[in-house]
Every structure is written in structure tokens, then in C-alpha cells.
Amino acid sequence: MSNLKHRSELLFLYDATLCNPNGDPLDANRPRIDEETGKCLVTDVRLKRTVRDYLIEKGYDGKADPNKDVFVRDDDGKVVTGAKRAESYKNKEEYLRKFIDVRLFGGVSAPKKAEKKGKANDEAEEGGGDEEKTDLNKTFHFTGPVQFGMGKSLHSVRVNFIKGTGAFATKEESIQRTFREEFNIAYGLIGFHGVVNEKAAKYTGTTQADVDELIEAVWNGTKGLLTRSKKGHMPRLLLKIDYREDAGGFFIGDLCERVKVQYREGKTEDNLEDVSDLVLDVSALNAELKKHAGKILSAKVVDYDERLQISEPIHEIPNP
């Protein structure tokens, strides 16, 4: 049973320097760019994968504790099918208890099972054989209480196109060279807005401990993106707003639109290279926090990197 009583909002800002925040496999793995604004886009799927990977590394792998696991995951670099994952749980209650990412983001379970139809001679005459039927005991669909919108940079970005070569030896006396092409962005300060819906949490059994794990994974998981294409990520700001139970489901919304970047002297969005090239204007965000203070239980900067300069201190509201 969920013990979440308050609706929450998250504002998460991180930057990406000389890396590819979210390549598009249908476009030569180029960074996703909004054609009209020039802003870099990052799907919520990418952020959720960051969270899941961190949780798996932390121990949500089903090994030490079979009730601590992640449902959507890879195994030795290959995606594990839903049917395969279904082998590890028996029913809806175990499904929710076992997988933290289902409790956070929701999940769909509809594994297939093969059932023999008819006798051997019937199969020959009627074209029978193995028929897939849905395993109704393991068929359910949960909408997760944690939902993130599309992430996007707070400014337009410059995309770099890089050519390079690689070499490997096929024999001691023979070296083969290959050519490679890749894309990255010079710099981008990217924002994500998320909502934790306490009503949906009742159906998934999401706990405050689950949300605490999420928040830790968002920050540390992003900082830990150290693959070749992702190194260059750094979390800068994570704000959490909890609303009062009597707020009637109210939340501010559009938190990414309440902050904007100001450029230091000599800098524009065309030549940004580092977080020190800008200042984050939080005046509109503060105005909203003060305006709706009566509906807010608490507003807290959970994590903050001091290299990100802000125009004024964020208006925090302590939990009474």
C-alpha cells in the first residue's frame, strides 16, 4: 500500500558538454534537435534508463534480494523480453513488490504462453500447432505515478560533426583501419520537469522510500554517465516541491519555463562552452513559489552544484 500523501513536482537541470545527450537512431544517432528553436531534446525514456541503470548498480538486480529488481533492463547487452521477466513473478502483487521501476514509472505485463492445440493428425489436416495465448494470470497494466516530460535545453545548442579513424590488428603484421563519424553538442543546460502523482501511487504501491531512491538515482545516475558518448554530463540543480493534502491536486507546472539563462559578457548561445558562461535566472520560479506558498507543504533544493550561478537564492519553504 502506498504511503504517499502529497503531490510532488521535480525540476532537474543538468548540462552536457561535448557529448551526445540522446542520439536518434533513426537519424544517424545525431543529437535530437528541435528544428524551430535549435534546442536539444532528451526523451523521458533516456532519463528513466539512467535511473534504472543506477538502481541496478545499487543492488536492484534481483540477486541479493529477489524482491529488489528492475523490470525493464538489459542482460549482457541484450534486452530481456517481457516473457522472460515473467518467469520471476507469479501475480500482480509480486510484480509490484519486486520491481521498483514499475512502482515508479508503471509497466505493462502481457506475456505469451504456448499451448498445444489438437492431436498430431488434426495438426496435419488443419494446419494446427503451437498457438500463442495470453497468460491471464500475469496480464496487467499500471500507469506510473512518476511522469517526466520531454527534456530540453534552455537555449539553442551548437552541434559538432566529428570524423575520426580507428585501428585494430587482425594479425600481428596486419592493421585494419576504419573510419567513423559522430555528432555531439558543444554545450547544453538541459531541464526536466517531473510530477509524482499520489493518486496513481495508490495502485502501484509506491512508497516514499521509492521516491527517495528515484531522486538519488536522477542525480547520481546522471553524474555517473561515463560511457564514451555520454561522458560530459553533470547534474546542476534538483528542486522538489511537495504540496499540501488539501491543495486539491494543485501543482505549479511548467517549471522548466520558470527559469531562463542569461549570458555572461562576450557569450551568446552560439559560443557557450561551459556552465560558467551563463547565469540561471530563477526570479520567475521564485515568484510562483511565493504566490502559491499557501498550497505548498515544502520546497527544497535537494541537490545543487555551486558551479551553476543563480540570479538569486531559490525561495525554499521548510517542511513544518
Beta strands in the chain (DSSP E): 8-19, 23-24, 30-31, 39-42, 74-75, 78-79, 106-109, 112-116, 130-134, 140-143, 146-148, 151-156, 159-171, 174-196, 233-243, 260-263, 278-281, 296-304, 309-310
Angle, CA 168 vertex, CA 165 and CA 174 arms, to 5°: 115
* CA 186 to chain centroid: 22
Average pLDDT, the chain: 89
Count CA atoms closer than 13 A to 308's CA, side-chain side. Answer: 24
Cell of 172: 600481428
- Choose among 23, 42, 21, 25: nearest CA to 194: 42
Q: Which position has the grid cell 527534456? A: 151
Measured CA to CA, the distance from residue 109 to residue 137 in angstroms comes to 10
pTM for the model: 0.89
Cell of 96: 509490484
CB 256 within 8 A of CB 192: yes
Phi-psi region of 129 (alpha: psi -120 to 50; beta: other; left: phi over 0): left
The per-residue pLDDT for range 269-288, each reduced to its tens digit, is: 999 999 999 999 999 999 99
Q: What is the DSSP letter of 81?
A: P
pLDDT in the model for residue 168? 57
Judged by DSSP in three states, 69 sits in strand
- Choose among 240, 260, 191, 301: nearest CA to 10: 240
Q: What is the pLDDT tens value at each position of the chain, 320 positions in all?
A: 678 999 999 999 999 999 999 999 999 999 999 999 999 999 999 999 999 999 999 999 999 999 999 999 888 778 788 788 888 899 999 999 999 999 999 999 878 764 444 443 333 233 344 445 667 778 889 999 999 999 999 999 999 998 766 655 565 666 666 666 899 999 999 999 999 999 999 999 999 999 999 999 999 999 999 888 889 999 999 999 999 999 999 999 999 999 999 999 999 999 999 999 999 999 999 999 999 999 999 999 999 999 999 999 999 999 98
pLDDT in the model for residue 118? 44
- 108 Cβ partners below 8 Å, 6+ apart? 82, 140, 141, 142
CB atoms inside a 10 Å sphere around CB 226? 9
Question: What backbone phi and psi angles, to 5 degrees, belong to 173?
Answer: -100, 5
Question: Do strands 278-281 and 309-310 pair parallel, antiparallel, or not at all (unpaired)?
Answer: parallel
CB atoms inside a 10 Å sphere around CB 53? 17
- 146 Cβ partners below 8 Å, 6+ apart? 104, 105, 194, 195, 196, 197, 206, 211, 214
pLDDT in the model for residue 189? 98
pLDDT in the model for residue 135? 78
The per-residue pLDDT for range 212-234, each reduced to its tens digit, is: 999 999 999 999 998 888 899 99
CB atoms inside a 10 Å sphere around CB 213? 19
Measured CA to CA, the distance from residue 189 to residue 16 in angstroms comes to 7
